[in-house]
Amino acid sequence: MRQLLLDTETTGLDPRQGHRIIELAAVEVVDRRLTGAHLHFRVDPERDIDAGATEVHGMTREDLAGEPRFADIAQEFIDFARGAEWIIHNAPFDISFFDAEFARAGLPASSSLYARLTDTLALAREAFPGKRNNLDALCERFGVSNAHRTMHGALLDAELLAHVYLAMTRGQETLTIDMAAPGSRTAGAGRSAEEGLPARVITVRPVPVAADEAQCHRAYLDALQRESKSGCVWLAVEAQVAG
Enzyme catalytic residues:
152
- Please check whether residue 54 is in contact with residue 10, taking contact to mean a CB–CB distance below 8 angstroms: no
C-alpha distance across the termini of the chain, in Å: 42
Q: How is residue 132 annotated by DSSP?
A: -
Alpha helices in 105-186 (DSSP H): 120-127, 135-141, 154-168
Q: How is residue 199 annotated by DSSP?
A: P
- Please check whether residue 88 is in contact with residue 117, taking contact to mean a CB–CB distance below 8 angstroms: yes
Q: Which helix (H) or strand (E) holds 192?
A: none
Q: Tell me how far apart the alpha carbons of residues 98 and 20 are, in angstroms, rounded to a whole number.
A: 9
Q: Tell me how far apart the alpha carbons of residues 158 and 150 are, in angstroms, rounded to a whole number.
A: 15
